[in-house]
Structure 1
Amino acid sequence: MSSRGLAVEGNDAQITPRSEAVGGMRIDWDVPVPMPDGAVLRADVFRPDDEGAYPVLMTLGPYGKGLAFQEGFTAMWQRLASAYPDAVTGTSNAYQVWETVDPEKWVPDGYICIRVDSRGAGRSAGQLDMLSQQEARDYYEAIEWAGTQAWSNGRVGLLGISYYAANQWLVAALQPPHLTAICPWEGFTDFYRDFNHHGGILSRFGQAWQDQQIFTVQHGAGERGRHNPNTGELVAGPPTLTDDELAANRVETIGEAKRRKLIDGFSQARTPDLTRVQVPVLSAANWAHHLHTRGNFEGYNQVASPQKWLEVHGNEHFAEFYTDYGVGLQKRFFGYFLKDEDTGWDQQPPVRLNVRHVDGSFEGRDEAEWPLARTNWTRFHLDAQSESLSTTEPSAEQTVAFPALGPGADFWTEPLTEQLEITGPASARVRLASSTTDADIFVTLRVQDPDGHEVSLVSAIDEHGVLAVGWLRASHRELDQERTLPHQPWHSHTRNLPLNPGQPVDLDVEIWPTSLVIPPGYRLGVTLSGRDFQMPGDGPWPVAYGIEQRGNGVFVHDDPDDRPAGIFDGVTTLHTGPGSGTSLLLPVIPATPTDKTSTFADRQKEPDHHA
């Protein structure tokens, strides 16, 4: 191992960059990345140890570039290593960091991997302001810096999960000249609708995530934080600041978002204009992530780039990014656009789906578009009298009332006589009344096996996930008519429309995209409730961030400030029948592209007067 010094630039003389060579890889630690306003961000650069020029893969964010995956996210690391051994083979895993690429799997193939601590996080001083316009501008400058270094071939790609995917959309919309291609892997696009408020209902995840995952690595946590196992340096230092000093150096992003009940400039500034994204895009989605699923589909559909691809997978949020499947897909994409390699990507179909089956397996399938053109949009009606779900509309008007904070009302099909595939976005139309001036409605799609046992699906966070979920606060029912589609209601979230107690209103609820092939003998169901659905059974249930995971992972909606007593603990009355329209619009996929007469939906489908 050898070492050589690097020149220090910027205004933070407490940090001394250094460089070392390890097994043919040159690692430059704490490289200064200057910003136009005089600030200096710190980056770790992993590159081939020679004089060549190579393409760059970059992340910038607040998770601490020196925080080892194994230490910072022990449970996830253990799961990755045990369930997906290919993800951790062929590498020493010495440089693994949460939700970023492993340089030992990329540098030998002629890539440079750069991790940048965003302003105010990790080793980068300044004010921490997550997903802000300032952070996006910093990212722009970091991309341009990387694209003009002697070791760079001038092409920069972005590749990372979650936060490291979400801010890809933001910076790509700024169109930095050296940005060549992006691969946002499971990352939201809409700060309000995807991340902070689901259907206008506050998600409690944000506060727990910010406090436990972001503020613990804020620049200045210093000696109260961890050390980089490779350098011995403080992950979030070198200074150790007081609590008051730390608070003064950050924007309380989640607190601000919680205070702002409607969409305003705060969330708009943190939501990219996807029509300005023009570089090639590989948007990788997870079927069941109640933070990220929607964003990857929206990103794919809305970006202006004529070169765009959608990939959809399942399993845990962090898994496929690191597996041979995921890395192989990423290398084919970036090899083509960053290195001009003949990877076959020019023949890649626009959409690659890994369709889910009830036994946990997946069926790989290439498609030409999203949603699928051959979708048989099928309306399933709810009947309060028989507690049934059917393609036949009920003949009589009925109501069912339930406590808003109780388990709600369930509706089930008869056992299926034929296979039913549901793949795509969905929606619900619900007529309800509340005993109070507002109500939250949670629409949960479920499946039971022939013995009546609940089918749980590994979701991105929860090993006992449900088929799909939609949410809506009744006072947020106003639609943006220009953007609304039958299968995807688009709510404005710009004003409140209180309910008159006891007076019914019609709600259109967006259900996030999903996929499942349901075999004969199984039943499809839906639960309508005024709180998060909870998987039946006694557990024990996994706990993360102090939240019990019973079907929704850590994405629950029980903040008492957002759901005050006296308003959201009333009685909800659901109306069904021919005049109510209460139903689901589901994306039924024919058994084969050319045979639409043999599916469950076509044989039972009634004319749809609502879609």
Structure 2
Amino acid sequence: MVLKKKRGDFDVLIDRGLEVPMRDGTILRADTWRPDAQGTFPVLIERTPYDKRGSSESNLGAGDFYASHGYVVVIQDVRGRFESEGEFYPFRDDGDGENKDGYDTIQWAAEQPWSNGKIGTIGGSYSGATQYRMLSTQPPNLVAGFARQSSADYYDEWVYRGGAFEHGFNTMWTLKHTATNARKLAPKGLEDEFYECLNREADDYAKWLENLPISPLSPVKSLHQWYVDWLNHPNQDEFWHEFSNARSYDRVTVPIHHFGSWYDCFLAGTLRNYVGMREKAATRHARMGQRLTIGPWVHDPAPADMRKSGDVDFGEQAILGWFETRLRWFDHWLKGVDNGVDTDKPVKLFTMGINKWREFDEWPPHQAILTPFYFSDGSAKSSSSLNDGILRSEKPDQFGEVFDEYKSDPYNPIRSFGGGHLGDNNGPRDQVNYEKRVLTYTTEILRDPIDVTGPVKAVLYASSSALDTDWVVRISDVHPDGKSMLICDGILRSRFHESFENPTTLVPHMPTAFEVDLWATSHVFMPGHRLRVAVTSSGFPRWDRNWHTGKNNALETSGIVALNRIYRDSIRPSHVLLPLL
């Protein structure tokens, strides 16, 4: 990947370690890049837990680039990280709680002698979270933001998905970012020893993905409480309330560009934040100023400069220019440049399959019609899966209990490969070697294209011999050469099928309706290809094992093998709902 950026006209001055006081007296520290010129300038702020000298924006050279174009750039260590004082507890102090570190930082920047009082925010992932969390506090000097690939709800997208723990991402993330903070967390005199030990364990994080029980995580259990807290709250209970952006969309007062990707672990958050703010923001100016861009990429610090994701090269047309896209946004909102940002269509999507950008007036596109494709009898003669079933647009007409069944073994789970997660082997990947132990339902060879653009879900009529199990559904594009390229997927821990707040265990062997959220996509299945749905009950280590007991899986080390059935008769017609354009 080559970053496309043209430096501006200003020389740049850099100041390191500026002290930024918070309302409780805690000092956070920041580095600044500013034009070497007289006068005041608009300010762009990133707040990061990843070290202000090694954050995504720092590593990409954002400070120098935007300062050369007439902005001051402030990159700050969040509370408790690297050179900033205080205790780090993810997300807690960045919003509208007792501490309001985002608000205080913006107002500090507005008062500096090099600032003209117009503030914008940048960054993605956790630095996107610090932006979203701060919006509810309504800093008077905040003018606009640009949030890349970040969450709306830290229960449902960051820590859990469909009630299942995002094991691969969170265990890796916890080890890695506890290790980088080890000297700050270690007992006095043991800083070097803790640093070396924790970094060794973080480098070998795959070992900890296999370790049981998941919680507590031995290398970090004496150093902080938040990982244990997350896993002690598998339900969406009161603990998670403060970590939801949705409760404060009606307090947003500024335009935000929500920038995401189809294979990002936070895709749902990008979409939900856009829709929520577009519908509920506090002012018409803020509502009309929301923008959404979704590309074909994986989670990455500079996605708009990528053409390849997973095993697929989407071509030069996938590249938008990461720095230029944001410069245009902030030039309009912070400098008043009449460059068309305010008249752009609000939604811009990259449609895979045809590999083109398309623009829409809203998300989801109103033209999309939710269309069922049913699991059916017979053989598609296209897969070496357990059943090689057929996917049809016609509802099944068979009566009685018609089903396909398989065993779900937590001691030998189906391995995850590809998809929208933050870890190894993410993005669109060939699923053929991972379909041998799952159920599949595949269409005939397509004669006409199928344009799927919008939210996707599966409706399963299913049963289990156990009190709890998982339902994992994947949709893939089967190419003429047999490759089964993953398009989107999702999971539901079955005890949450009625409520994430108040789970209920299953009645063994009783057919029950389940809805599995596959989030969304924009993909055209081309003539000569097929559309395939795969169903299984695990995706490890991306998601944690379900031990089938109905208890907190993170605290368990053993369970039972479950017999699971997927029904496909006229009364229980399992299907996927695809938004067709």
Would you say same fold, with TM above 0.5? yes
Pick from 46, 65, 71: which aligns with 2:33? 46
Letter in 1 for 2:243: R
- 1:177-326 equivalences in 2 (<5 Å): 177-204=140-167, 205-217=169-181, 220=184, 251-272=224-245, 273-289=248-264, 291-303=265-277, 304=281, 305-306=286-287, 307-318=289-300, 319-321=302-304, 325-326=321-322
Q: Quote the residue 1:80 is aligned against.
A: none
Query: 2 CA distance for matches of 1:190 and 1:384?
Result: 39
CA shift digits 1:590-610 (9 cap, x unpaired): xxxxxxxxxxxxxxxxxxxxx
- 1:95-114 equivalences in 2 (<5 Å): 97=58, 102-114=62-74
1:531 correspondence with 2:551: no
Q: Quote the residue 1:595 is aligned against.
A: none
- 1:397-408 equivalences in 2 (<5 Å): 397=399, 398-405=402-409, 407-408=437-438
Query: Residues 161 and 321 of structure 1: is their aligned pair in 2 closer, same or farther, counting only changes over 3 Å?
Result: farther
Are the aligned partners of 1:354 and 1:362 in contact in 2 as well (CA < 8 Å)?
Answer: yes
Tell me, what secondary structure is at the counterpart of 2:180? helix
1:65 correspondence with 2:52: yes
1:468 correspondence with 2:488: yes
- 1:384-399 equivalences in 2 (<5 Å): 384-386=377-379, 387-397=389-399, 398-399=402-403
Letter in 2 for 1:189: A
- 1:335-484 equivalences in 2 (<5 Å): 335-357=331-353, 362-386=355-379, 387-397=389-399, 398-405=402-409, 407-455=437-485, 466-478=486-498
Pick from 122, 130, 135: which aligns with 1:172? 135
Tell me, what secondary structure is at the counterpart of 2:274? helix
Structure 2 runs not aligned, ≥5 long: 1-8, 186-190, 197-217, 306-318, 380-388, 415-436
Are the aligned partners of 2:66 and 2:73 in contact in 1 as well (CA < 8 Å)?
Answer: yes
Are the aligned partners of 2:403 and 2:565 in contact in 1 as well (CA < 8 Å)?
Answer: yes
* Root mean square deviation, CA, Å: 2.5
Deviation of 1:451 after TM superposition, in Å, equals 2.7
Query: Residues 225 and 565 of structure 1: is their aligned pair in 2 closer, same or farther, counting only changes over 3 Å?
Result: closer
Q: Quote the residue 1:571 is aligned against.
A: 563
Query: Residues 525 and 133 of structure 1: is their aligned pair in 2 closer, same or farther, counting only changes over 3 Å?
Result: same
Letter in 1 for 2:292: L
Tell me, what secondary structure is at the counterpart of 1:97? helix
Q: Quote the residue 1:118 is aligned against.
A: 78
Deviation of 1:583 after TM superposition, in Å, equals 0.8
Query: 2 CA distance for matches of 1:293 and 1:62?
Result: 21
Query: 2 CA distance for matches of 1:383 and 1:585?
Result: 15
Query: 2 CA distance for matches of 1:416 and 1:436?
Result: 38
Deviation of 1:471 after TM superposition, in Å, equals 1.0
Q: Quote the residue 1:141 is aligned against.
A: 104
- 1:540-551 equivalences in 2 (<5 Å): none
Query: 2 CA distance for matches of 1:251 and 1:140?
Result: 25
Pick from 3, 7, 11: which aligns with 1:24? 11
Letter in 2 for 1:499: L
CA shift digits 1:191-210 (9 cap, x unpaired): 11111111101110212102
Tell me, what secondary structure is at the counterpart of 1:188? coil
1:509 correspondence with 2:529: no
Query: 1 CA distance for matches of 2:463 and 2:13?
Result: 65
CA shift digits 1:353-404 (9 cap, x unpaired): 11112xxx73011111110111121110112554111110111141111012
Deviation of 1:565 after TM superposition, in Å, equals 6.7
Q: How many residues align?
A: 476
Deviation of 1:413 after TM superposition, in Å, equals 0.5
Query: Residues 476 and 32 of structure 1: is their aligned pair in 2 closer, same or farther, counting only changes over 3 Å?
Result: same
State which drifts further: 197-206 or 379-388.
Answer: 379-388
Tell me, what secondary structure is at the counterpart of 1:364? strand
Letter in 2 for 1:185: R
CA shift digits 1:558-579 (9 cap, x unpaired): 3876275765631111111211
Letter in 2 for 1:446: S
Query: Residues 33 and 219 of structure 1: is their aligned pair in 2 closer, same or farther, counting only changes over 3 Å?
Result: farther
Q: Quote the residue 2:505 is aligned against.
A: 498
Letter in 1 for 2:230: A
Tell me, what secondary structure is at the counterpart of 2:134? helix
CA shift digits 1:511-536 (9 cap, x unpaired): 11112111111110111100118xxx
Aligned residues: percent identity? 26
Are the aligned partners of 1:439 and 1:567 in contact in 2 as well (CA < 8 Å)?
Answer: no
TM-score between both structures, scaled by the size of structure 2 = 0.77
Pick from 325, 336, 341: which aligns with 1:329? 325
Structure 1 runs not aligned, ≥5 long: 1-21, 70-95, 227-243, 456-465, 479-491, 534-546, 548-554, 590-611
Letter in 1 for 2:87: Q
State which drifts further: 184-193 or 326-335.
Answer: 326-335
Are the aligned partners of 1:394 and 1:578 in contact in 2 as well (CA < 8 Å)?
Answer: yes
Pick from 574, 581, 588: which aligns with 2:580? 588
Query: Residues 347 and 135 of structure 1: is their aligned pair in 2 closer, same or farther, counting only changes over 3 Å?
Result: closer
Are the aligned partners of 1:412 and 1:523 in contact in 2 as well (CA < 8 Å)?
Answer: yes
- Hey, which of these two has a bigger chunk of helix by percent? 2
Are the aligned partners of 1:62 and 1:218 in contact in 2 as well (CA < 8 Å)?
Answer: no
Query: 1 CA distance for matches of 2:291 and 2:459?
Result: 31
Query: 1 CA distance for matches of 2:558 and 2:508?
Result: 12
Are the aligned partners of 2:52 and 2:77 in contact in 1 as well (CA < 8 Å)?
Answer: yes
Deviation of 1:214 after TM superposition, in Å, equals 4.5
Tell me, what secondary structure is at the counterpart of 2:452? strand
Deviation of 1:502 after TM superposition, in Å, equals 1.0
Query: Residues 427 and 439 of structure 1: is their aligned pair in 2 closer, same or farther, counting only changes over 3 Å?
Result: same
Query: Residues 353 and 139 of structure 1: is their aligned pair in 2 closer, same or farther, counting only changes over 3 Å?
Result: same
Are the aligned partners of 2:374 and 2:396 in contact in 1 as well (CA < 8 Å)?
Answer: yes
Query: 2 CA distance for matches of 1:524 and 1:105?
Result: 44
Letter in 1 for 2:294: V
Are the aligned partners of 1:63 and 1:217 in contact in 2 as well (CA < 8 Å)?
Answer: no
Query: 2 CA distance for matches of 1:128 and 1:282?
Result: 27
Are the aligned partners of 2:94 and 2:133 in contact in 1 as well (CA < 8 Å)?
Answer: no
Query: 1 CA distance for matches of 2:335 and 2:195?
Result: 39
CA shift digits 1:106-158 (9 cap, x unpaired): 11111111111011101112111110146661111001101111111111111
Tell me, what secondary structure is at the counterpart of 2:468? coil
Deviation of 1:251 after TM superposition, in Å, equals 4.4
Q: Quote the residue 1:562 is aligned against.
A: 553
Are the aligned partners of 1:433 and 1:574 in contact in 2 as well (CA < 8 Å)?
Answer: yes
